Chain A
Amino acid sequence: EPEVTQTPSHQVTQMGQEVILRCVPISNHLYFYWYRQILGQKVEFLVSFYNNEISEKSEIFDDQFSVERPDGSNFTLKIRSTKLEDSAMYFCASSESGRGAGSYNEQFFGPGTRLTVL
């Protein structure tokens, strides 16, 4: 069964450093997402991406964050200057369709990348 993959599984970085989290969505999916989950807290939406551009982003997704689809398979999240509070599990997800009322937006989540900022 096709699945979303993410690398690395765990990333440790120093405060102020840049990190790039990588995801390979399911191949025939068109919509891609990043979420984060701080330990013990709820899953929080960061950004959605469709047709090579950001379709929606949350307040969390400020100027230190960026996303890119550098080729036909990878989808990346870059955090430019990490802060202690960026420590969290980051999940990538993909779906065939978008979030319109007539759509069926089942999202497939990856296993996550645990980011630890020291």
Chain B
Amino acid sequence: SQKIEQNSEALNIQEGKTATLTCNYTNYSPAYLQWYRQDPGRGPVFLLLIRENEKEKRKERLKVTFDTTLKQSLFHITASQPADSATYLCTTDKLIFGTGTRLQVFP
């Protein structure tokens, strides 16, 4: 069955550094992947969508890559800030969500 895997361990980084989160998919070739941010007790908020024919997408301090050979998407936050602390979710066009990776940015 289709699976989306994200590193379930929390990622702790220092303010100003680049955070890199990973999303791997198996048994499936999605037409696109999406990244959402979720704060505790709240609904996910859309961040970026990247299609299978796009290698990279950027939005302000955010960058997403899509490697169909590795079956992987990487999500980068540059110049990270404490306000970036949240759980980041990866999802496919089949509406399958990963478990999310919790990012904690320390001042």
User: Which of A's residues lie within 8 Å of B, judged by CB?
Assistant: 4, 33, 41-45, 48, 56, 89, 91, 93, 99-101, 104-112
Contacts and interface: CB of A to CB of B under 8 A. Distances in A.
Contacts of B49: 104-106
Interface of B: 31-32, 34, 36, 38, 41-46, 49, 51-52, 89, 91, 93-100
Q: Majority SS of interface residues in chain B?
A: loop
Contact of B43 (A41, A56, A109): A109
A101 B54 CA distance: 13
16 contacts: A41-B99, A42-B97, A42-B99, A43-B44, A43-B91, A45-B95, A101-B32, A101-B51, A101-B52, A104-B49, A105-B32, A105-B34, A106-B34, A107-B44, A109-B45, A110-B43
A91 B31 contact: no
A81 to B, nearest CB: 26
A43 B97 contact: yes
The 6 closest A-B pairs by CB, nearest first: A109-B43, A101-B31, A45-B95, A43-B97, A42-B99, A106-B46
Contact of A112 (B32, B42, B91, B97): B42
B51 to A, nearest CB: 8
B95 to A, nearest CB: 4
Contacts of A33: 95
B43 A112 contact: yes
